Structure 1
Amino acid sequence: MGVSNNITAVLNFIAIMASIPIIAAGIWLASKPDNECTHYFRWPVVILGALILLVSLAGFVGAYWNRQGLLALYLLCMAALIALLLILLVFAFIVTRPNGGYSIPGRGYKEYRLDGFSAWLRDHVTNSGSWEKIRTCLADSNVCAKLTQNYITPDQFYAAPISPLQSGCCKPPTACGYNYVNPTLWLNPVNPMGDPDCLLWNNDQSILCYNCNSCKAGLLGNLRKEWRKANVFLIVAVVVLIWVYLIACSAFKNAQTEDLFRRYKQGWT
């Protein structure tokens, strides 16, 4: 194995290591209740990380055993995967734009409005066809049931840093003036016209505020919060992979030159 192939093998080992945090970030995202219910956001990161792992393994094998055809295929596939990763980062940037969250005096949580999110994201998540499936999935999850297990008194609940999804879906908007009984049971609104969602609130645990615009905005707020964390891993990974790819391209050209020189030398002996 030539020097250039040695370098390529080491670089692919680094690429294999870079794929692991991508897969881990994808699994973490997929495990979140909002991503479980928005299926098209759930697995792309995991799938992309797994493909990078497989392609890097192919590149390592090609370099170690000097399979030039396999190395060429590796470079082609890795270029496509890096492009897809960059597209995913652009998508993540759109998701993580400033959100519709606003602070409520005396509350540890924020409430959310749909107009704080990109039109593309709103249309793809909250249109009637998509939302009906998402709403049913959220109602079947334990995202709101957790609140009744963790908070008992009003003071405990009002001070709680609950998630955007819980804020939007599990309680009525603060402007309605509902009286607290427990985190998912509220009675006698003081201002039932304070927000369009006031009339949509229902104490039925399968309904709550899952039909509310605040719930849709809370879901988008959760996606934003989670993708911002995942972005850190994706940005580091794409920088490492681009660096690895550029050096691997140079090493591949050098390996071809070395092979050509060796054949030329053998022809003269």
Structure 2
Amino acid sequence: MVRCSNSLVGILNFFVFLLSIPILSSGIWLSLHGNTQCERFLDKPMIALGAFLMVVAIAGVVGSCCRVTWLLWFYLCVMFLLIVIVFCFTIFAFLVTNKGSGETIPGKAYKEYRLGDYSEWLQKRVNDNHHWKNIRSCLYDDKFCNRLEIFSDIYRNASAFSKKDLNSLESGCCKPSNDCNFTYISPTTWNKTSGTYKNPDCNTWDNDNTKLCYDCQACKAGFIDNLKTSWKVVAIVNIIFIVVLMIVYAMACCAVRNNMKDKNNYASF
């Protein structure tokens, strides 16, 4: 007789197996039909995640429902490693996102962002030219700076634009730093003033909508600030995920014990 823990492990892993199918299919589809570098960047992780979930789910279903003990041992080892990895990543995410925030500018609704305020590990990642080239491509493909230009009729002067509550990417990548004191023309068009600039971003700024401030330190800082928010949400979700994994792990341990008992009872006959 299959005990309750075996059945629960089998049912849960059956749903995981169903979940792995669209993840794996999406990764394969992106690999074959992705139009941009940003889309293709996601294909390999999704294929790997989908394949991993599928293999683990099959091991859990077969091991629990068919009482194949060695598969359940394999399942337990993988689950233990997964719990450790997710736990370590969660701690790491909290550590690298606990520094840095936007700087409030008097008279402005938006904040400005300085790269030096954030974690050194994150700074190194965005300062790596290869990494930033891929990130920059994704940012440009999103065209979020173009959306600001749509409202140029509303923000006809610098005073009106200063009341716009920009997000971290818009503030860092779509406009020059407040330090530059450029002349406002439109949300993404600013005339440079003469003189020397202490902030290197002022020299980097370009009114060309393919350049703007995408290579500025402020843009990198804005990206990190946006990433911080996402990572904190992921970290909180991971805590819930770890609790669920531990419950499933405990049930799988019971299933292994049940299989061993059934095997011993069968041997005694």
**Length-normalised TM-score, structure 2:** 0.78
Q: Secondary structure at 1:211's aligned position in 2? A: coil
1:56 aligns with 2:57: yes
Supply the distance in 1 between the matched residues of 2:39 and 2:168 (Cα, whole angstroms): 15
Q: Does 1:173 align with 2:177?
A: yes
The residue that corresponds to 2:2 in the other structure is 2
CA contact (8 A) 2:9 2:60 kept: no
CA distance in 2, matches of 1:97, 1:18: 33
1:243 to partner: Cα distance = 2.3
CA distance in 1, matches of 2:123, 2:220: 8
Does 2:111 align with 1:110?
A: yes
Q: Secondary structure at the match of 1:205?
A: coil
1:8-157 maps to which residues of 2 (within 5 A)? 8-11=6-9, 13-14=11-12, 36=38, 39=41, 47-48=48-49, 51-52=52-53, 54-150=55-151, 152-153=154-155, 154=157, 157=161
Unaligned stretches of 5+ residues in structure 1: 28-34
Deviation at 1:213, TM superposition (A): 0.7
Amino acid at match of 1:167: S
TM-score (norm 1): 0.78
> How far apart, CA to CA, are the structure 2 residues paired with 1:48 and 1:165?
29
Gap runs ≥5 in structure 2: 27-36
Measured at CA, do residues 49 and 108 of structure 1 come closer, stay the same or move farther in structure 2, by a change above 3 Å?
farther
Cα 1:95–1:47 shift into 2, 3 Å: farther
Please name the residue that 1:31 is paired with. none
Distance 1:159 1:65, change over 3 A: farther
Structure 2 partner of 1:212: 216
Q: When the two structures are aligned, how many residues end up with a matched partner?
A: 253
CA deviation map 1:66-97 (0-9, x unaligned):
22222222112222222222233234224422
Q: Secondary structure at the match of 2:206?
A: coil
Q: Deviations over 1:3-49 (max 9, x none)?
A: 1xx313314544666896xx99xx9xxxxxxx949958x97588547
Amino acid in the other structure paired with 2:2 = G
The answer on whether the counterparts of 1:95 and 1:227 sit within 8 Å (CA) in structure 2 is no
Kindly provide the amino acid, as one letter, of the partner of residue 164 in structure 2: A
Asked if the contact 1:178/1:190 (under 8 Å) is kept, the reply is: no
Q: Cα gap change, 1:46/1:167 in structure 2, threshold over 3 Å: closer, same or farther?
A: farther
Q: 1:257 aligns with which of 225, 239, 261?
A: 261
Percent same amino acid at aligned positions?
34
| Structure 1 residue 185 corresponds to structure 2 residue 189 | yes
Residue 242 of structure 2 is aligned with which of 219, 238, 242?
Answer: 238
1: distance between equivalents of 2:62 and 2:187? 56
AA aligned to 1:107 is K
Instruction: Determine the C-alpha separation between the residues in 2 that align with 1:16 and 1:108.
Output: 50
Matched position secondary structure for 1:180: strand
Are the aligned partners of 1:164 and 1:221 in contact in 2 as well (CA < 8 Å)? yes
